[in-house]
Amino acid sequence: MNREFLYLDEACVKRFLTPDTVIRTVKELWAEWKSGNLTEGDRCFLPAGKDTGNEFLYIPACLSDRGVLGFKWINCYMNPAEGYPFSHSNLIVLNDIRTGELKAVVHGTAITAMRTAGGHAVAAARYLHGDRPLKTLSVIGNGLEAEKGIEGFLCEFPEIEKVQVYCRRAEGFEKLRSAFDPGAPLVYVPDQTQIGKGADVILVATSSPEILLHSGCVEKGTTVIALDGFIDTDPELARRADKWFVGSAKTDRAEIIESGQMSHDVCLNYEDVYGEITDVVTGKMPGRESEDEIIVYTHMGSGFYDVACAYEVYKKAVEEGCGVCLTL
């Protein structure tokens, strides 16, 4: 019995998990979403103490065709301690399906940002934007999610001419701007009401408990990618949109539609959902059918993405002899 496993830190994740790898992995998962090869266990929220408003989340997933299963352990702190971010110090555990042996413990924070804003958000835009070039991307937010989202979009859509960013403070934009090459087409939009002007796609990537994208700011023909449901995005868009797609009917229905916490207690109706993104991927239903359609995509993510991305990092690390080998 092998008791050795790899510890793969943040540096390993950033080295081996490139934007194109993440996007490809999400597309592959969506193509086999209902094949029976993927099994996601029940998520479990654990309050971090009494009446703190903070919690930990356990997300398990099994990828039969890859021979691995595992889980992500992540903190979601709506009331973080002073100087601490909303979420950090997360990890992903990988086990071998056949033997049950521990294969790796992988840094999860960077994977979470990459597989979310830089992964399924980008892949959704690819399937829902339509055949038109994506010239203008609007981004609300300036944190790690926004950064990884922009990286992913610039990788998948090299035709992007402008990335307009709204965040509350100009210094926040400058910090985000410093993460990119000086030639990257990022511009600051100080007026929140103007962020949707001329946008082909709007990416909402914040942890704000306030609505930052209002329905009236979304022009016809726009695809809206809302990564945190309708917490920071106007719930009215669920009704105004010509098509509203979710990532997973099971989990998104429970977490976004049936949870008033995700919509400022606005009552959302599952009948307003046009379909799952995987139905577009597999050709069972159309995505964008006209240039004037407003399309909204909401998805709280899946453990499939985390386990699959961690496995990609693990395979590369084994190939190149990287990581720290530990023994149980």
Dump pLDDT digits (tens) for 160-184: 999 999 999 999 999 999 999 999 9
**What gap in Å lies between CA 158 and CA 182, rounded to an integer?**
16
**What is the mean pLDDT of the segment spanning 94-113?**
95
Query: Residue 80: its pLDDT value, please?
Result: 87
Q: For 187-212, what is the mean pLDDT?
A: 95
Whether residue 187 is predicted with pLDDT greater than 90 in this model: the reply is yes
Which residues, at least 6 apart from 322, have a Cβ–Cβ distance to it below 8 Å?
8, 12, 15, 16, 316
In the sheet that 223-226 helps form, which strands lie side by side, from edge to edge? 186-188, 162-166, 136-140, 201-204, 223-226, 295-298, 243-246, 275-276
Q: What is the pLDDT of residues 290-320, one digit of tens each?
A: 999 999 999 998 999 999 999 999 999 999 9
At residue 83, the pLDDT reads 87
234-274: per-residue pLDDT in tens?
999 999 999 999 998 888 888 888 877 777 888 888 999 99
Q: What is the pLDDT of residue 201?
A: 98
Strands (E), 258-317: 275-276, 295-298
Left if phi > 0, otherwise alpha if psi is -120 to 50, otherwise beta: which for 89? left
pLDDT at 276: 96
Query: Which pLDDT band holds residue 224 (cuts at 50, 70, 90)?
Result: very high
Q: What residues contact residue 290 under an 8 Å CB cut-off, 6+ apart?
A: none
- Rounded Cα–Cα distance for residues 159 and 125 (Å): 14
| Structure token pair of residue 241 | 């949109």
- Say what the pLDDT of residue 326 is: 94
Q: At what angle do helices 303-320 and 19-31 cross, to 10 degrees?
A: 130
pLDDT of res. 288: 95
SS3 readout for 58-88: EEEEEEHHHCEEEEEEEEEECCCCCCCCCCC
- pLDDT score, position 137: 98
Lowest mean pLDDT, pick from 72-86, 142-156, 174-188, 268-282: 72-86
Q: Residues 23-49: what's their mean pLDDT?
A: 93
> How many residues would you count in the chain?
328
pLDDT grade for 207, boundaries at 50, 70 and 90: confident
In this prediction, residue 267 carries a pLDDT of: 85
Q: Are 117 and 127 in contact (CB under 8 A)?
A: no
Residues 176, 306: Cα–Cα separation, whole Å: 24
* Average pLDDT across the chain, whole number: 93
pLDDT at 85: 80
Residue 299 · residue 97 · CB < 8 Å: no
pLDDT (0 to 100) of residue 250: 86
As a whole number of angstroms, the longest Cα–Cα distance in the chain is: 61
Give the 3-state secondary structure of residue 215: helix
pLDDT confidence of residue 304 = 96
Residues 120 and 301 sit within 8 Å (Cβ to Cβ): yes
Neighbours of 211 (CB within 10 A): 18
1 pLDDT band, cuts 50/70/90, is confident
147 Cβ contact list (under 8 Å, min separation 6): 113, 176, 179
In the chain, the percentage of residues whose pLDDT exceeds 70 is 100
pLDDT at 105 over 80: yes
Residue 71 scores a pLDDT above 80: yes
d(CA 236, CA 215): 6
Look at residue 25 in the predicted model and tell me its pLDDT. Answer: 97
Confidence at residue 265, expressed as pLDDT on a 0 to 100 scale: 81
Distance from C-alpha of 289 to C-alpha of 274, rounded to nearest angstrom: 13
Rounded Cα distance, 148 and 114, in Å: 6
Say what the pTM is: 0.92
